[in-house]
Each structure stands twice: as C-alpha cells, then as structure tokens.
Structure 1
Amino acid sequence: MTAGPAAAGYDVVVLGGGVAGCVLAARLSEDRARSVCLVEAGPDYGPDRQDWPPTLRDARALPRDDVWERHAPVHRIRARVIGGSSSINGCWNTWGSEADHAAWERAGGPGWSASAMEPYRLRAVEQMRLRQVPEREFSPWSRAALAAAAELGYREVDMAAPGGPGYGTPLLNAVDGLRRNAAFGYLDEARSRPNLTILAGAVVDRLDVRGGRVHGVEIEVDGRRERLVADSYLLAGGTFGSPAVLLRSGIGPAAHLAEVGIRPEIDLPGVGANLVDQPGVFVPLAPTAELNASLAAQQAAGELYVSRMLVRAAGEDCPDDSWNLHILPAAGPPLFGKLAPGEFEAGISAFVMNPRSRGRLRLTSADPAAAPEIDPGFLSDDGGRDVAVLRSGLEIVERMAATAALKSLAGPLSGHPARDLSDERLRARLGTYWHPVGTCAVGSDDDPFAVVDGQARVRGVSNLRIVDASVLPTVPAANTQLPVLAVAEMLADTLRD
C-alpha cells in the first residue's frame, strides 16, 4: 500500500526504492508479521503500466526525465523513481567472471563466492522474467556483429551466466518494447500486503545516529520534515546516494565531515572512497545508405534497438580464461544529439570492465538538495594499466570493424585510429558504461577502508546495513543490474530470520 509515515514506526525501513530496495521490500514483507516501509525520493507510478510515462515504459530508449540532475555530466546520471536504474537503463543483464567473485569472496567471505551466489542469480532471473533477445529485435547491424565476432574467432557464450570470453546476447528485462523494471518484477506482487508501506516523494536527509545505533531517520516529504523510526534500517540509495546519506549522518572521514560542518559520529574513511566505474570510447563509423535504409525500416516497424549483442574480450593484463573488456557494436538513433531523418549512428565501443582507477564522492554541503562532488577518476591509476587495456580494446574494435561482416555496412571515418590517439585526446573521448560501485565497500575486519562486513552491516552501527551497488568492493566484468539483484536477494536471505 502507499501511505504517509506511521507514528508507531516499523520493524524495517528500506531507504531507497531502486533495484536493491525493491528486492528488499518484496522479500522482507513476505513475513506478514514484519512491517516494512520502502522510502523513495522520486515518484511511484504504481502497478498499472499505463500510468507510467511512455518514456519510462519504452525499452528502446534511455529516459532522462526521472533523474536527480538534468543536463549533468554523463557519469553523474542516476535515477530518481521507483525501480531506480532499472527504470532508465538499457534493460541488459550480464554476469561477471570467476575472478570477480574471487575478489568479492576475499572481501565479504564465502557467501560472496561464485558458487554461493549462483542460486541468487537464478532466483533474480526467474523473478524478473529475464528473456533472450527475440529474433525480430536483431537489426542487420546486430546480426552482422554476431557474424563478425565469430569471424574474429570468438565462441558463443551465455552472457548472463558464468563462463569465459566470447560473444553473445544479454538477457533482457523487457517484453515487446515494454521495460519491465524492478518495481514491476518485485513490488507488483507485494503492493497489496498490509505490512508494506511505500512512501514515494520522500528525500532522506540524515540518520539520527547516537551511541552506535540509529534512532530514527529524517526525511522531507512535500516540503515537510518527517521522522521515521524502526528497529532496523536498510540503506539502499545506490552508489551515489548511500554514501551521501552516511556522510550527512556523521558517518565517514572525520576530516571531510568537519570541512562541511557535520559533527563526526563514526570515523569511517572508506565512505565515499573506492568509487569505480567502467570507462570506454565509442568509435563512430560511416553507415552505408543501405544500412540507413534498413534501420529506418526497422524503426518504422517499432523494432529498432541500438544494440543487441556484445563481446567479452581479453585485453591487456587479463587473467586467464577471463575478460576485462566489453566490445559493444551499436547502430541506431544517436545517444546524444540528433541526425537528419533517415540517418543513423553506427559504431563500436570498447569498455574497460575491471579498472584499477578509483574516484570518490564527497559532500559539497550538509543540505540534502545539494549535489555531491563526484570524481569518477577514470584512467587515473598510477601504472597506466587502464589506458593500456582501453587501447587493446580499441585495437579489437578496429579489427572487428574490418571484418567482412561489418565493413559492407559501415566504413571508417577519416582521421587517426582511436587506439593511436594521445592519452589526452583519449581521455577527452571517454564515455561511461554507467555502472558505478564501491563507495561503501564490503571488506574484512582488517581493511581500514571497509564500510560494511560480509552481511552488509555498517561498522560501528548495530542496526544499519547497506544493500546496493555501493557495497561491491570491485566492479564486475558485467552490466551491474543482474549482480545487484543477486546480491540483494542474497542479503535479504540473511535478514529473514
């Protein structure tokens, strides 16, 4: 049900209605004796698909209306709507490597291993009704890209399951062009439960932390300040939202808190640190008239999707039987800007999937309405490894564009190959895969920068956990939606008893 704050409080308050928050609210409210309140800063458009804005329903586009900052740099884009990033992303679901889970297990314990996570991966796939790409959604470009990957010697693999390098298609949380976000996947069957309250349009200001315990949470609803009280608090504000709430609550690096006028309650230097995202470069190509015509026909039929395949590739400094690049061919309407009717953008991107570079998030003010300072730190690692991996990815892009399958549909533009650009010009071309993680990372007891333990408990606070992408200690070699769904399923199990 949807309602205002209850004066009597709740057993559990989930702060953030994104991907992880939807999982938590649905799973924990299965126990009808447990009262759960899900708090979301953005709107909740409800269970009826027709009540949602057309842009949020359309799986062919990346909507940018329900976000925290309009016209912000691309690395800052984050959803402000129930369902979170699953309401605005590309509906792609892929899985990481054995090396990813080995790193997670070292940080979080055996529950984070590949084998331990497998049941939760399968549970998330089933709950979200993830599906294979139907044949009609392949454009001539996507079909040619599949052939090009095979021409380069890659084998076909299941992108949403454990495995090695290869080419294939993601699993989709979309049917017939309709985006099936996490609110549809998890909340629809839970909304009628009397023990679940969904409180939308409520911005979390700060947690009242005293004596190593949260005593309440201050929120703003329609310009009014309210206070929610619960036995347990689950922070699920995402990689940018969760550390910001902790910092406003006095949990974080003491020196930084003092700089913005916040009294430190718990000195946790890892809050806002360890920010990692997947940078990449798009290499544009010149589509032929025939490709433009075929794309226009598919767009007129309502079946044009910019990309429906990818390659997991091993670039520079990659572990054996693993991958550290996504090679992503795309053709369709430009992501940024516009082209004349009947003309389309075509090209191939290379994304660095396991970068060593780290950025950070800091507050600019104690005001929850103030945008945080976000430095993604792209290609900043001391040894230059990330630049080397990116260049090796661009070399694969160049070879893929030259295959017989693709060169008949698009040719190279004039100018130097992207892999030969200077570091400065390469950085100027950088984009992002939009998969930030790590700002409240899980870690062992001897890790001074760990914010949570293997069961997501915040250090020094007895009744507070964080469950979202911010706790991932490293970014997986994957799109992060499916891994976050699985992690939330896993951590929800630890909270059921």
Structure 2
Amino acid sequence: MTSTRTQTQRSKDALTSGYDVVIVGGGVAGCVLASRLSEDEGRTVCLVEAGPDYGPDRRAWPRQLLDAHALSRNDVWERRTDIHRIRARVLGGSSCINGCWHTWGAIPDHEDWERAGGSHWSAAAMEPYRRRAVEQMRLRTVPDQELSAWARAALDGARELGYATVDMGTSGGPGCGTPLINALDGLRWNAAFAYLELARDRPNLTIQGETRVDRLRVRNGRVRGVEVVVKGKPETLVADTYLVACGAFGSPALLLRSGLGPASHLEEMRIRPEIDLPGVGANLTDQPSVFVPMTPTAELNAALAVKEEAGELYVNRMLIRAASEACPPDSWDLHIVPSAGNPLFGSLPPGQYEAGISALLMKPASRGQVRLRSADPTEPLDIDPAFLTDPDGRDEAVLRSGLAVIERLAATTAFKRLAAPIKGHPSSELSGTEMRARLGTYWHPVGTCAMGRSKDPSAVVDGEGRVRGVDNLLVADASILPTVPAANTQLVVLTLAELLAGKMTETTLR
C-alpha cells in the first residue's frame, strides 16, 4: 500500500496536512507498526501518542522508566486506582512500565486464533514474526548472575516436584524455566528504543506525543479524520488509512466514542451509532492472580541485600507452567511465579524484603467488558474484568489448583530453609469470598475488539484487523485477540503487530 503522493507534496511539520497512515496509540504495537510501515519511503506515517515522547536520547528519559528492577507507576493513565486499571501513557506503552517478561503460549492458543482469523494465525505462520520481534527487542535469557537465592531455590524446588526445564520463549509444554527479558544490564529496553531509534530520522515518519485522541469521524463506512487535542488546541488528522493501537481498554473506548459499538450503549451515552458492533468492549479477558506471602528467613534477607547492593536484585526471574485437572493434555493453564525483593506496593525497612509465590490463571473462562461513562474522552472508563464470574466456577477451581501447587513448592527442601508460609489455614482452602478479596492481576487484558469470521455477530475485526463495516480502519493490538494466550502478552503483541504490518505491506517472512 504505497500512495502516489510524495513527501514533498506535504510538510512533515504540518500535523494536519494529511498522511497515508495515521496510527493512533504509541504503545508496543504502535511502535512496531510505525517502524515497519515507514520503511517504505513512499508511505507517510503519523504516530500519535497521548503520553510524552521523551525522545531519541535515552539520557533524557525518566530514571524510573529506564530501571528494569522496578515497575514505574508514573507514566500511566490513572494513579491511585484499582490495580487492574493500570495502563501506560507514554511512547513505548507497557514496555516502559512492565516487568520485562516475555513468554509464549501453547498450541491451543493458535488454534483458537486460527479459527477466528485464518491460517496466518497458526503457530507455524506466526513463528517468523515471533523470531523477528525477539531479535528487534534484543530479548535474551536471564543471565546467571541475575538469579537470586530465591529464584535458584524456586528452580530447584520445581525440579524436586518433577517439572522439567522448558524454553519459555516457545510453545513447549508444562515445566519450569526463566522468561526472555528485555532488560539489558538493568536498562529496560522498551519498544520505543527497539523500533523507533533508527526510524525517527525518516522524513516520512511523524511522531506526535502528548496528543489526546478524542474520536474518529466516521461517515458512510469510512473514517474521514481523527479529532485530536494538541497542547489544548483541537486539530484533525486526515489519512487514507487509520490504525488503532490503543490497547485492550483504549481501542474499544475510541471506537465507542466514534459511534462504533453496541447501538444501545451508544444511544445511552448520546453518541450517534454509525455501525452497530455488539462486540466492541465486550469479551474482556484478563489473568487474575493470588499472591501467597511467606516469611523470609534472615538468610534470605541477607542474600537479597547483597544482590541489591550489587544492583542485581530482580523480584521475579523464574516461573512454572502448571496444568490443573481441567487443562488439556500438553498445555498449561497456570503460571506459578515466586518473587522476592522490594514490595510492589508500599515499602519495608532497609534489609527486609517481601517474599511469596503467586498463582496466575492463564486461560480464564470469565469475560468482562469496557464501557464508557460518558462521551467525554477525559472521563475515566467503566472497566469490569469480571474475575471469577464464569457460571460453572471453573476459574476458581483452576486458581485453587494453582494454590495447591504453591503449597507443594513451599514445602520443598530448597524453599523451606529460605522462608516459611504465613500461619493459618492453607491458601488452597480459602473460601470463594476470601479468594476474591485477595485477587490481583497479571495485567494482560485482551479481547475487546475481537477478531472473528464474517458470520460471527460478535466479531469486531477480521483476521487482518479490518474493522467490520469501515473501509479504511484497522485495529492492531491485544484487543483483537479473541482469547488470551497461556503467556505474558507482550511478545504476542509484538508478533501480531509484525504480522499485521507485513499483511499491510504484503510482506511474508519465512
């Protein structure tokens, strides 16, 4: 897709001059799309991000975003909010604030996506794009010196329980191991660095930070422009093609504000329905968790203090892929993640650390939703993850199975000398009410603009991200996945963005 217009026919500095492609959302997917689509010198691309672009010089970036040891909570949409609502607002998106973990899902994940989107979503077809993303993000295995005493004990304990070592960057099967990471000697190597560092100098690429997107102007089955606010001033960006990459919360919200979604909800918000798409904002799927705290021994606290002094203390560096009784053969539906270090929330006195093990439900059956509270783009969204609400109670049962794995792991020889479980009844015997009160999240929402076949009334996009009923609009981010993978989602999002960029440029990797 190359326009006959050239860059000399428009000014790169004139934001409203018109582009071949406008990408709304400068998160992980947006950075990939901007980089790949601007490789064609004849295609003009504008990448729009609500948060700041701290620029090409890494020294100008806030220290918190560069530090791979901790999770920054400064450049986010909402502060002091429910934990499941946390999402990045900065060029590079979640790759700037997350834990730098990359794992890959199971073969049944691809089977779900292939049924919904076509053969290019199969494991084999996505593999070249996965490898490309791994290379571009400079993903690496965890160096030996970054394994704390807690992580080493966890690996030994997992093997004591019979878990084989597996490669977490591929499908494989149940087992234990370390994730791929985008942390380079303590530096969080985010998607803005990886994908835009060389692309920034291209004359056909415009990166517009601190630009709030209000809505798309949709008329007669086409987007006619995107309304934005730059430094308090309303502007309209015009393009031939519009790509939405605002994430599982932001993408459905933008479509809804633009009149694309369930007609009844739009009318309730006093938004004129352009196209009745019941699936917009529905099917929200995220991975809930329960953290089981443990009491560190003096030996563990001392070992962690030495790691911290050396600048090598990472809270999480290994995981177990575990299968509950309800899991299909050769797959997994749980991550068991031991962690020890500085608390994610709050603080402890020097020399003291938080330790525990989390059970994370990877393939939930429960479905939530994203809705508007009003047509005002500055109003916070109504986000309901609906954790553990499936009518059959399967999600609670699987999570309880994960808590039982935690109990067995905590009782292994390797673990018992470093920490003791908190006194009280076993976590696997928590009541449903107690479990819900302790729920956390893995921060991997998907599904709110799900892809599907033409006969699927809930489908929002097709297998190439094209929005149903709108000729020149695509969605390309985690929101299009109809089911969540049995994995952390960042590598999947990088891969799907590589894939869809290849589809737009008719490039197939081998």
- TM normalised by structure 2 equals 0.96
Secondary structure at 2:158 match in 1: helix
Residue 438 (1) aligns with residue 447 (2): yes
**Is the 8 Å Cα contact of residues 438 and 472 (structure 1) preserved in structure 2?**
yes
Aligned counterpart, 1:267: 276
Secondary structure at 1:103 match in 2: helix
Q: Report the residue type matching 1:455 in the other structure.
A: E
Question: Which of residues 319, 331, 339 in structure 1 aligns to 2:340?
Answer: 331
Secondary structure at 2:213 match in 1: strand
Q: Report the residue type matching 1:430 in the other structure.
A: L
Aligned 1:86-485 pairs, distance under 5 A = 86-485=95-494
**Is the 8 Å Cα contact of residues 168 and 178 (structure 2) preserved in structure 1?**
yes
**Is the 8 Å Cα contact of residues 16 and 235 (structure 2) preserved in structure 1?**
no
Secondary structure at 2:338 match in 1: strand
Secondary structure at 1:60 match in 2: coil
Q: CA deviation at 1:313?
A: 0.5
Q: Report the residue type matching 1:259 in the other structure.
A: E
**Is the 8 Å Cα contact of residues 20 and 488 (structure 1) preserved in structure 2?**
yes
Distance in 2, matches of 1:195 and 1:481, equals: 27
Q: In angstroms, what is the RMSD of aligned CA positions? A: 1.1
**Is the 8 Å Cα contact of residues 12 and 203 (structure 2) preserved in structure 1?**
no
Q: CA deviation at 1:285?
A: 0.5
**Stretch deviating more after TM superposition (292-301 or 175-184):** 292-301
Secondary structure at 2:214 match in 1: strand
Q: CA deviation at 1:316?
A: 2.9
**Is the 8 Å Cα contact of residues 156 and 166 (structure 1) preserved in structure 2?**
yes
Q: Report the residue type matching 1:440 in the other structure.
A: C
- Give per-residue Cα distances to partners, 1:225-270, cap 9 Å, x unaligned: 0000000000000000000000000000000001111010000000
Q: CA deviation at 1:6?
A: 3.0
Distance in 1, matches of 2:344 and 2:427, equals: 19
Structure 1: runs of 5+ lacking an equivalent: none
Q: CA deviation at 1:5?
A: 4.5
Q: CA deviation at 1:174?
A: 1.0
Aligned counterpart, 2:3: none
Distance in 2, matches of 1:367 and 1:5, equals: 27
**Is the 8 Å Cα contact of residues 5 and 199 (structure 1) preserved in structure 2?**
no
Secondary structure at 2:280 match in 1: coil
Residue 49 (1) aligns with residue 58 (2): yes
Distance in 2, matches of 1:313 and 1:170, equals: 15
Distance in 2, matches of 1:224 and 1:407, equals: 60
Structure 2: runs of 5+ lacking an equivalent: 1-6
**Is the 8 Å Cα contact of residues 205 and 245 (structure 1) preserved in structure 2?**
yes
- Give per-residue Cα distances to partners, 1:76-129, cap 9 Å, x unaligned: 000000000000000000000001110011111101111111001100001111
Secondary structure at 1:191 match in 2: helix
- Give per-residue Cα distances to partners, 1:106-165, cap 9 Å, x unaligned: 111101111111001100001111011111111000011010110000000000112100
Secondary structure at 1:387 match in 2: helix
Question: Which of residues 75, 79, 86 in structure 1 aligns to 2:88?
Answer: 79
Q: Report the residue type matching 2:17 in the other structure.
A: A
Aligned counterpart, 1:69: 78
Secondary structure at 2:201 match in 1: coil
- Give per-residue Cα distances to partners, 1:41-79, cap 9 Å, x unaligned: 000011111110000000000000000001111100000
- TM normalised by structure 1 equals 0.99
Distance in 1, matches of 2:185 and 2:367, equals: 38
**Is the 8 Å Cα contact of residues 88 and 94 (structure 2) preserved in structure 1?**
yes
**Is the 8 Å Cα contact of residues 370 and 384 (structure 2) preserved in structure 1?**
yes
Q: CA deviation at 1:4?
A: 5.3
**Is the 8 Å Cα contact of residues 92 and 171 (structure 1) preserved in structure 2?**
yes
Instruction: Provide closer, same or farther for how the CA distance between residues 4 and 225 of structure 1 changes in structure 2, counting only shifts above 3 A.
Output: farther
Distance in 1, matches of 2:305 and 2:46, equals: 46
